[in-house]
Amino acid sequence: MPSLLNKNRPPVFCPGCGHETVTRALNKAFDNLQLQGSEIVMVSDIGCSGLFDTFFNTHAFHGLHGRALTYATGIKLARPDLTVIVTMGDGGLGIGGAHLLSTCRRNIDLTLLVLNNFNYGMTGGQFSSTTPQDAVVGSGFLNQIEKPMDVGPVVAAAGAGYVSRGSVYDKDLAQVIEKAIRFKGFSVMDLWGVCPGRYTKKNRLTPKSIKEAISALPALTGPVEANCRDEYGVQYRAQASQAPSQEHPFKIEKQFPAPSANRIGVMILGGAGQRIVTGGEILCYAGLTAGLNTAQKNDYPITVLRGHSVSEVILSPDAIGYTGIDIPDVVMVLGPEGVARRRELFASLTADTMVIKASDVPIPECDGKILTVDFQSLKIKAPDRALAALAILAGLNTVISMEMLREALGIRFKEGVLEKALSLVKKASEPGVSP
């Protein structure tokens, strides 16, 4: 088997770095396993161990701080046929601790190489989750007041099926990695090595002292009997195959011509409880009935029945890439909270912008074409204003037609609610209501 090491990108670690030893041993393990580059995914984390994905001619994914295991989990679930290797330092391991524990609990078939050199090498030698309390590191006294984590027992307690602890200088490192990769479940290898670039400038740590320290600890050499069980992906696929199949999402077919051939941006401004978001949703459904592409963005605080509610809807015959509305074609002003939230918007309106405005909601001066509606005298309550405004729009055959709106309501509502909605639309579109 040809080497999978990337000739164009030889390892670039500091001279004497333990990571380089692991790089070569991992390559040897791939060779022993007769794996092709196309059968392997290298998923790396941050720090110096995060460079690993670039050293191999394999698939690669470079992740973020402590999250490498999450991406690797998704990759392995989607492609169980691939061998997925994760490299992570003791820094990323501490940052992504919850992800580590979750992966242990699942026992998914990944091999995690923890390149443990007891500090954040790349960023200046600060303390990590495994730094001994008596070490001298680049973050002052902080490591002296935190108990370091012993990786092996922690992951074993969390459910990892395979746990080993060893030195990167072990002569049989390639065979040990190979054994971990062969294990059908989550394998965690706590590999101790030296970081001459940072850690050993002020701390004594050598291959010999690493060997002595590991020998003094309980041996961790492979499968954890209590945690051996079916691999997560195997269980997942078995369960999923028994689950009732999902109904296909319903499809809205094009039935009507759209009143406009252009991309249209509509902003609905109101307050909580005014069904602003529902109004935006109905507008999207209406657009779909004319074969338009639609996008909806909503803005409201986490509070219930209090505060602003704004919905921004785009209807377009073309695919919608940019989902922002710089200058809207239509603004529906239905409540003062929404106006306060988008106050600066009004200065940008042009004479082409239609503003459907509730008579009891003041707005800043603007150049838009204002259509004032007295919802109160029409006895249209606040929660019905959004739908009534849509009916006015449809009555003017602008943006949507009446047939598009009625069809959208039939999609969104059923029975009594639909009847009420249709009767409101009728009322709001009667002559004399639309200004």
The residues of the shown chain that bind ligand SF4, judged by CB under 6 A, are: 13-14, 17, 19, 48, 117, 121-122, 195-198
* Closest CB to ligand SF4 among residues 49, 309: 49
User: What's the rounded Cα separation, in Å, for the pair 165 and 116?
Assistant: 10
How far is Cα of residue 335 from the mean position of the Cα atoms in its chain?
Answer: 34
- Smallest distance, Å, CB 45 to ligand SF4? 13
* Closest CB to ligand SF4 among residues 196, 291: 196
Query: Cβ(114)–Cβ(165) under 8 Å?
Result: no
**Distances, alpha carbon 228 to alpha carbons 101, 106, 155, 225, in Å:** 16, 11, 13, 5
**Distances, alpha carbon 206 to alpha carbons 25, 127, 196, 291, 426, in Å:** 19, 19, 10, 69, 84
- Smallest distance, Å, CB 198 to ligand SF4? 5
- Smallest distance, Å, CB 83 to ligand SF4? 25
- Smallest distance, Å, CB 263 to ligand SF4? 51
* Closest CB to ligand SF4 among residues 17, 75: 17
* Closest CB to ligand SF4 among residues 159, 197: 197
**Distances, alpha carbon 263 to alpha carbons 12, 321, 330, in Å:** 51, 12, 12
- Smallest distance, Å, CB 116 to ligand SF4? 10
- Smallest distance, Å, CB 138 to ligand SF4? 11
What's at 431, amino acid-wise? Answer: P
* Closest CB to ligand SF4 among residues 124, 362: 124
- Smallest distance, Å, CB 188 to ligand SF4? 19
Residue 161 in tokens: 């099926």
Our CA angle for 316, 357, 371, nearest 5°, is 85
* Closest CB to ligand SF4 among residues 13, 192: 13
3-class DSSP state of 317 = coil
**Distances, alpha carbon 339 to alpha carbons 93, 120, 269, 313, 345, in Å:** 47, 50, 6, 16, 9
* For helices 402-412 and 415-428, angle between their N-to-C axes, nearest 10 degrees: 160
* Closest CB to ligand SF4 among residues 19, 106: 19
